Structure 1
Amino acid sequence: MSTTDLPPAGRSVPAPSEGAGTDPWRQPLSVWATAGAAVVAFMGIGLVDPILPSIAEGLEASPSQVSLLFSSYFLVTAVAMLVTGFISSRIGGKATLLLGLALVVVFAALSGASGSVGELIGFRAGWGLGNALFVATALSVIVGAAVGGMESAIVLYEAALGVGIASGPLVGAVLGDWHWRAPFFGTAVLMAVGFILITTLLKAPPRPAQKTRLGDPLRALAHGGLSTTATTALFYNFAFFTVLAFTPFVLGMSPYGIGAVFFSWGVLVAVSSVVVAPRLQHRLGSVRTLHVALGLLLVLQAAIAVSAGLDARAGVVAAVVLTGVPIGMNNTVFTEAAMEVSDAPRPVASAGYNFVRWMGGALAPFVATKLGEEVSPVLPYVVGAACCLVAMGVLVLRRHHLGALTA
């Protein structure tokens, strides 16, 4: 199954008859191979976090220049989301996964061999293209191969995201303590292993009968519910990546120290994504759960700002780690909301949504770091808190477009 094979929003995905009621963790090897590669793909998000100060020192770059490692990665990821469905509906889901993995292997290795910060920024952009092709296709491939249908697939996908985000800083710290180049080469090796496993274990799913057009994701954003969800997620992602990209410069720790902070943060992201978010959704509904998560992230951003202003490192660490709870909740609820709120085919709606929301991830690292450099290390978190407030305001003002999420 490629990304265009997911049914339109509003239609259920039938679970395979033999898999109904089964444990979502009992899956074929092909599913685990895809999920394992997804873990490494998501590792790439936080991999550079512990080594950002080391990269700045090794390449004689400013923090704002180094922050472009995130911005170039997510900018290309955002734009590439518009073409992933077009590509996968023509060459198939397995081929798209392998193409994405191959690009990550090449550009991760080139990142490790960079001789300047400009080269590294460019190679991270290429890495973002490969990551977009892989990540955008992985969920639909897991849905097609998993036992237990959509619910089990989302649990596995969110678990992979959580484990990847949690382990990325840890791997980056361990390898980065040896040399800042090592995490990039390590990622290339791991993704090469994933390429081999998917090549050998995953059976190529049939190509969809209807091909996705290039303009379909942008047309899908004309839907009020999807544009509301995407705009809200853009502001949320700005707050999210302010924490992820700027905080390493505030902590003033070694790679191991930064890695430990963000590993703890990532564990909470994983637990919150898989355990907390579904339970709150069941009790409160998707929109109320988003309000709770955004409100909690706002409070914690304010706590980071206050602690940073007082130069209280322990307060900064505690608040940063705790942001993993609302970030995990938001990741899960936004993923499901984007698939359910629109009447467009799910992969098309998801592509349009991801194009908008990853723009927040592209803007935040550079803007936040520049504000921290030139004004105050407190200001980025104030802006992040304001973004959470704006996101909540968008949900309130455009709530009439979100009936599909409250029904």
Structure 2
Amino acid sequence: MSLTGRLDAYPTPVLATAFATFVAFLGIGVVDPILPKIGQQMGASHAMVELLFSSYILVMALAMLVSGALSTRIGSKNTVLLGMALVAGFAALCGLAPDVLALAVLRGGWGFGNALFTSTALAIIVGLSTEVAEAILLYEAALGLGIAAGPLLGGVLGSASWRIPFFGTAVLMAVGFLTTYATVSDPETREEKQTVRDVLAGYRSDALRTNALVGLTYSFGFFTILAYSPLTVADLTSVQLGVVYFAWGALVAVSSVFLSTALIRRFGEIPTLGGTLVGMMAVLAAAGLTVGTTALLAVIVLSGVCCGVANALFTTLAIESSPHSRAVSSAAYNCLRWAGAAVAPVLAGYLGQTYGLATPFYLAAAVVLAGTLYLLVRGSDIRDGLRANASAGHASAGD
């Protein structure tokens, strides 16, 4: 079965979870085109505005420590539903926020709900599918489409008021909640109960730790593009910004599904990841060089190619190179990479307003360079993990 084939080849619960994933990640980018408007109307600095992303990401990272443990106790479906309910509730409250600080706190609650959802949704999609690789691609496609649609929704609805996109997201997540409740059930094979200690123990795996640390540096660059760059093109309207980031997200989705598969087949996982990081570094440097010109818009859009390939690769490697369960692997990987990325938006906002708009892009390029060098030195950890799991799979098949 191929993702490029008929979607009805996937079980209904898998498609329902994929739709919910689409809505969940739609909520990440919905803020993008309205950031300048929020800052202007609330008289907030760039750093304060960027708290909307940093609080969201930081809480999401920390919540990953308990999300895996929770899902093995109350079940994947209940964990996903709880996360979706929290997202819908906090999204609606964001639309009522009186100031930036309150909005940032509420975004943190939104991040907690999203953490419960995202770490468990992948486990459901993989657990209810027959092909792990195809299931991950479906998840990444839903993720990419959500990231693409979010800015467009935010731009269109935000042209009237910055509050409306939050209410729109809440309604969509409520629909996703009802769909998931009606169609999704827990995978037949339920994972053993996990604890926070089990998640932390996951970092003993060289493959998981290396993948997460490199993912941390990539995520720093990713959120510099997604969260900070809208403030450097603030002369555009909300709708215009929405179109720019929709185009970016569309490339993320297409690249994660089609290009990543072709590159992995041609070059292998580690070389493809290394090349993608080099491309990301070049894009960030180009963004710094083109700040203040219309060329920056093209750079932002084209960065979606690197982001799409990297997203698919990191997620695949987190599951397929780790010796631990899906719940532990996903939680440990996401916790570390999101924690590192949390500082990127607010730091970029401060540096951009203090030392020049180009500075955050150059810093992000340097961080991604560090990750690339680390991959060059420790990439064998991930490769060994892939081989070990492949050998274990063949051994199980032969028993």
TM-score range, shorter chain: over 0.9
1:275 is matched with: 258
Aligned residue runs from structure 1 range 226-375, under 5 A = 226-252=208-234, 253-308=236-291, 311-312=292-293, 314-375=294-355
For structure 1, which segment, 218-227 or 320-329, has the greater mean C-alpha deviation from structure 2 after superposition?
218-227
Q: CA deviation at 1:30?
A: 2.2
- What is the rounded CA distance, in whole Å, between the counterparts of 2:190 and 2:220 in structure 1? 35
* Unpaired runs of at least 5, structure 2: 388-399
2:395 is matched with: none
Relative to structure 1, is the Cα distance of residues 328 and 154 closer, same or farther in structure 2, using a 3 angstrom cutoff? Answer: same
Instruction: Return the match for 1:121 from 104, 118, 128.
Output: 104
Instruction: Return the match for 1:152 from 117, 128, 134.
Output: 134
1:200 is matched with: 182
Instruction: Return the match for 2:361 from 362, 381, 388.
Output: 381
Aligned residue runs from structure 1 range 69-108, under 5 A = 69-108=52-91
Contact 1:101 1:130 in 2 (8 A): yes
For structure 1, which segment, 173-182 or 57-66, has the greater mean C-alpha deviation from structure 2 after superposition?
57-66
Instruction: Return the match for 1:36 from 19, 26, 49.
Output: 19
Q: CA deviation at 1:222?
A: 1.5
- What is the rounded CA distance, in whole Å, between the counterparts of 2:212 and 2:280 in structure 1? 18
Q: Deviations over 1:53-79 (max 9, x none)?
A: 111122221111010010000101101
- What is the rounded CA distance, in whole Å, between the counterparts of 2:96 and 2:261 in structure 1? 42
Relative to structure 1, is the Cα distance of residues 185 and 140 closer, same or farther in structure 2, using a 3 angstrom cutoff? Answer: same
Q: CA deviation at 1:176?
A: 0.5
TM-score of the superposition, structure 2-length normalised?
A: 0.93
Q: CA deviation at 1:359?
A: 1.5
- Confirm whether residue 395 of structure 1 aligns to residue 378 of structure 2: no
Contact 2:207 2:385 in 1 (8 A): no
- Confirm whether residue 109 of structure 1 aligns to residue 89 of structure 2: no
Relative to structure 1, is the Cα distance of residues 131 and 71 closer, same or farther in structure 2, using a 3 angstrom cutoff? Answer: same
Which one has a larger percent helix, Structure 1 or Structure 2?
Answer: 2
Aligned residue runs from structure 1 range 31-70, under 5 A = 31-70=14-53
TM-score of the superposition, structure 1-length normalised?
A: 0.91
- Confirm whether residue 135 of structure 1 aligns to residue 115 of structure 2: no
2:393 is matched with: none
2:207 is matched with: 225
- What is the rounded CA distance, in whole Å, between the counterparts of 2:335 and 2:254 in structure 1? 26
Q: CA deviation at 1:234?
A: 0.6
- Counterpart of 1:221 in 2: which secondary structure? helix
Q: Which amino acid aligns with 1:45?
A: I
- Counterpart of 2:204 in 1: which secondary structure? coil
Contact 2:2 2:134 in 1 (8 A): no
- What is the rounded CA distance, in whole Å, between the counterparts of 1:375 and 1:209 in structure 2? 49
CA RMSD in angstroms comes to 1.7
Relative to structure 1, is the Cα distance of residues 145 and 90 closer, same or farther in structure 2, using a 3 angstrom cutoff? Answer: same
- What is the rounded CA distance, in whole Å, between the counterparts of 1:202 and 1:336 in structure 2? 23
Count of residues in correspondence between the two structures? 385
- What is the rounded CA distance, in whole Å, between the counterparts of 1:106 and 1:380 in structure 2? 33
Q: CA deviation at 1:117?
A: 0.8
Contact 1:91 1:207 in 2 (8 A): no
Q: CA deviation at 1:22?
A: 11
1:15 is matched with: none
Contact 2:322 2:385 in 1 (8 A): no
2:157 is matched with: 175
Contact 2:88 2:174 in 1 (8 A): yes
User: Percent identity, aligned pairs only?
Assistant: 45
Q: CA deviation at 1:21?
A: 11
